[in-house]
Amino acid sequence: MRLSEKQQIFTRNIAKLINKATELEIGLTFGHAWRSLEEQKRLKAEGKSQTLKSKHLDRLAVDFNFFINGKLVYDFHKIKVLGDYWENLHPDNVWGGDFNKNDKKDGFVDTPHFQMS
Ligand SMILES: [Zn+2]
């Protein structure tokens, strides 16, 4: 599959995710979507990212801020319902809240992050 086709599937699935959040009364605002390599290098140096091969560089990841009852929330347990929904939309979808799955036990949990691998 061409990268462009994959990016379009990803973007369509993000639309579904946004609609699901609305249905669950979880307000969303965008954080990072596309990111340059320079920006990624800076985030890694600051310990805010674990990799230089982020899916943000490929337009296959988006970070969200979550609002529940008007309050900004990043709590894993409150957002897990969206993470589960995301991972059921496509077999390549990964939620950053689940980064510790698949034997990655480095303690890094990235609740705002939704990607297609
Ligand atoms: Zn991210």
Q: How many CA within 13 A on the CB side of residue 17?
A: 34
Rounded Cα distance, 49 and 74, in Å:
16
The pLDDT tens digits along the chain (117 residues) read: 999 999 999 999 999 999 999 999 999 999 999 999 999 999 999 988 888 999 999 999 999 999 999 999 999 999 999 999 999 999 999 999 887 665 555 567 889 999 999
Rounded Cα distance, 109 and 105, in Å:
10
C-alpha of residue 23 to centroid of ligand 1, in Å: 23
In this structure, the strands spanning 61-68 and 27-30 are antiparallel
- Which pLDDT value is given to residue 105? 56
C-alpha of residue 69 to centroid of ligand 1, in Å: 24
- Which pLDDT value is given to residue 49? 86
C-alpha of residue 1 to centroid of ligand 1, in Å: 23
C-alpha of residue 82 to centroid of ligand 1, in Å: 15
Rounded Cα distance, 92 and 45, in Å:
28
